[in-house]
Amino acid sequence: MLGLGTWGFGGPVALVGFMYRDLVEGRGWFTEADYKEGLALAQLMPGPLAAQLAIYLGFVRYRLLGAALVGLAFVLPSFVMVVALGAAYTRFGGLTWMQAVFYGVGACVIGIISISAYKLTTKNIGKDKLLWAICTVSAVVTFATQSEELWLFIGSGVLVWLLRAPPDWMSKHRLHSTSVPVIGFFALNGIDWDKLVQIGRYFAYAGTFVFGSGLAIVPFLYSGVVKQYAWLTDHQFVDAVAVAMITPGPVVITTGFIGFLVSGFWGAMVAALATFLPCFLLTVIPAPYFKKYGKVPALVAFVDGVTAAAIGAIVGAVVVISQRSISDCVTACMAIGTAVSLWKFKKLPEPVVVLVAALIGLIVYPQMHAA
């Protein structure tokens, strides 16, 4: 896992594929059933898919100790990388070459997120009209409010649960009018806590309620980091997402980079721990019971609804963030070109695309800036 966290480029789908190839087919350390159960649990629980699968596999062999060591080994390399990049960004962010790199990479990230949102939509929603409606509403609300609405996520899950797998007390009655309970979770804003406590609280909140791809955390973080707390500017946030794209391991490690920009090394440490701790707990706690209850229709329906809302939030966030990152014809062409390239060439590695975008930025930005 330490090795995979060091060279594992390609996003969550690629990482879980590497685990199957190396640990099931290659080394034979896990059975096909172990792998499939871990993948299903990772898809049902909030949090980064690949990290949760790794934690589950560690739990299968050595219980809590195995889960803890595997999770740490998988995340540690990318954490070290984003801290180093955060130090360089803080030290040299004002230099022209650094601005040029992120000029190109920021536009490229918009294209990457766009094509990822497209893949998530086709894979998880397909032709399901109810999920399409939820996704559309979530995208519109995210764009209109420029923030995540957690009540919409929870409410969507409850709606699909009530319509598709109603509890026994509802099974004898048709739903002529559906009243969905709305559950709101609000961050505490007016309390003057120490910055690290504030960072830990916010990122733990984000890590607990992020379903779907690791990119699902992007609208959550944008709402809090930029809009609510004003810790970062729009461009700094896009740069943070870009850093996650150019480093191996889980995309969610972008929280470590953000934490570093906000409060140095300890900010990075607290942000990363707070993000991954819910992921760890939501994997090891239900793991012993998952074989028995993992396919309960009510749970599957609830997760379907939340996932559809999360995908809609990603779509809305793409539009919101692109308004800040796409500033001219060059960045617009780079974003579109990235999306088209990834769509047409399915096996094109994202880090290669990001590297090309960085080189283009180094060439074009000085000329645009001079003009």
Q: List pLDDT tens digits, range 200-240.
A: 998 988 877 665 555 667 777 888 888 888 899 888 888 88
Flag whether 226 is in a domain.
yes
For the segment 82-87, the average pLDDT, to the nearest whole number, is: 87
Selection from 99-108, 140-149, 188-197, 280-289 with the highest mean pLDDT: 280-289
DSSP designation for 45: S
| Res 183: pLDDT | 32
Mean pLDDT of 54-75: 92
Domain presence at residue 15: no
Q: Do 200 and 271 contact (CB within 8 A), yes or no?
A: yes
Task: Answer whether residue 65 shows pLDDT above 90.
Answer: yes
- Tens digit of pLDDT for each residue in 338-352? 889 988 887 787 778
d(CA 342, CA 97) in angstroms, rounded, equals: 26
CB burial of 326-351 (b: ≥16 within 10 Å; e: otherwise) equals beeebbeebbebbbebbeeeeeeebe
Domain-located, residue 168:
yes
Q: Is 272 helix (H, G, I), strand (E, B) or coil?
A: helix
- Could you tell me the pLDDT band of residue 118, with boundaries at 50, 70 and 90? confident
Percent of the chain with pLDDT over 90: 11
What is the structure's pLDDT at 162?
Answer: 85
Residue 218 domain-assigned (yes or no) = yes
Query: Angle, nearest 10°, between helix axes 129-145 and 150-164?
Result: 170
Query: Residue 12 — pLDDT band, cuts 50, 70, 90?
Result: low
- Tell me: pLDDT of 192 over 50: no
Do the domain assignments include residue 71?
no
Which is more confidently placed, 189 or 43?
A: 43
| Nearest alpha carbon to residue 100 among 112, 90, 92 | 92
Q: Containing domain of residue 183, as a range?
A: 81-370
Q: Tell me whether residue 188 is in a domain.
A: yes
Confidence class for position 270, pLDDT limits 50, 70, 90: very high
What is the pLDDT averaged over residues 270-299?
82
Q: Which amino acid is at 149?
A: E
Nearest to 156, CA basis, from 139, 138, 170:
138
The better pLDDT of the pair 75, 126 is held by: 75
Q: Is the pLDDT of residue 142 over 70?
A: yes
Q: Domain for residue 55, yes or no? A: no
- CA-to-CA distance for 155 and 302, rounded, in angstroms? 9
Confidence of residue 143 (pLDDT cuts 50, 70, 90): confident
Domain count along the chain: 1
Cα(59)–Cα(66) distance, integer angstroms: 5
Residue 52 lies in a domain: no
Amino acid 32: pLDDT:
78
AA identity, residue 301: A
Structure confidence at residue 100 (pLDDT): 83
CA-to-CA distance for 77 and 57, rounded, in angstroms?
19
Q: What is the CA radius of gyration of the chain?
A: 20
